[in-house]
Amino acid sequence: MVKKTVLVCIILFSFVFSAFSVTYVVGTEASFPPFEYVEGEEFVGFDMDLIREIGKMYGFDVEIRDISFDSLIPSLITGNINIIVAGMTITEERERVVDFTIPYFSADQSIMVRSGESTNLTVLFMKPKIGVQTGTTGDLWVTENLVEAGFLPKANLIRYDTFNFAVRDLINKNLDAIVLDNPVAERFTKTDPVEIVGIIKTNENYGMAVAPGNEDLLNMLNEGITKLQETGKMDELIGKYFK
């Protein structure tokens, strides 16, 4: 009898508890190491740790959804995801449709090529095949400064859903260069036969994003980022992922 009562209590308690625990669906594109990538079956990386730490602070669970980068904003707006955490640069154009947190990381673009071929920056003006991830600031830079400026035939700009395929094509000589965020290029130089031949100073800042008007969630994320910065946790994570 006592056993039964205890069991009923446990069931009731977990029911009530689960009714109060909140899960936020976090959208990312997991081919962006060391910010987000897959290890075994797990989504790991700097961004993943950041949002999980904020979840711990404010008592919410995180469910990661891996989708193509250019689908992140549409998914946020339609409510399929609650937060974007994807090394996403705060840009004026994006700010018109979503709300960004305060910046939590800075980056520039870089030009990445196969290593050991003595390629230099002039590669950009030799009508190379350049790979980018669709809808990223790297895509935007190449489109505006090379294609629209008349230096690169449109067909030489190749857009990918994931950087994993772009890097594979670079190594297989289907591409001559990739333009992507420098912290991610740096990371690829440690895991693949690639090197950086130039940095394009774009002065980008990463922010997390929520649907417009979702003020409570935005305030919580901003407070969380500030706390991680003040407590030194942010520096600890930077040390963990950017050695």
Of these, 75, 110, 133, 182, which contacts ligand GLN (CB under 6 A)? Answer: 133
- 46's CB contacts (< 8 A; 6+ apart) are 34, 35, 36, 105, 237, 238, 240, 241, 242
Task: Report the 10 Å Cβ neighbour count for 129.
Answer: 18
The window from 18-26, 83-91, 170-178, 221-229 that contacts ligand GLN (CB under 6 A) reads: 83-91
Q: List 39's β-bridge partners, or say none.
A: 42
Q: Is residue 112 close enough to count as binding ligand GLN by CB under 6 A?
A: no
Q: Is residue 99 close enough to count as binding ligand GLN by CB under 6 A?
A: no
Q: Nearer Cβ to ligand GLN, position 62 or 180?
A: 180
Binding mask 2-21 for ligand GLN (x = CB under 6 A): --------------------
What residues from 190 to 219 belong to the interface with ligand GLN (CB under 6 A)?
Answer: 204
CA distance 157 to 168: 16
CB 87 within 8 A of CB 106: no
Q: Is residue 86 close enough to count as binding ligand GLN by CB under 6 A?
A: yes
Of these, 50, 181, 228, 234, which contacts ligand GLN (CB under 6 A)? Answer: 181
CA distance 112 to 170: 9
Q: Count residues near ligand GLN (CB under 6 A).
A: 12
What residues from 28 to 57 belong to the interface with ligand GLN (CB under 6 A)?
Answer: 29, 32
CA distance 167 to 68: 16
The CA–CA distances, whole Å, from 52 to 10, 20, 87, 180, 190 equal 27, 18, 15, 26, 26
Give the shortest CB-29-to-ligand GLN separation in angstroms. 5
List residues binding ligand GLN (CB under 6 A): 29, 32, 69, 86-89, 133, 136-137, 181, 204
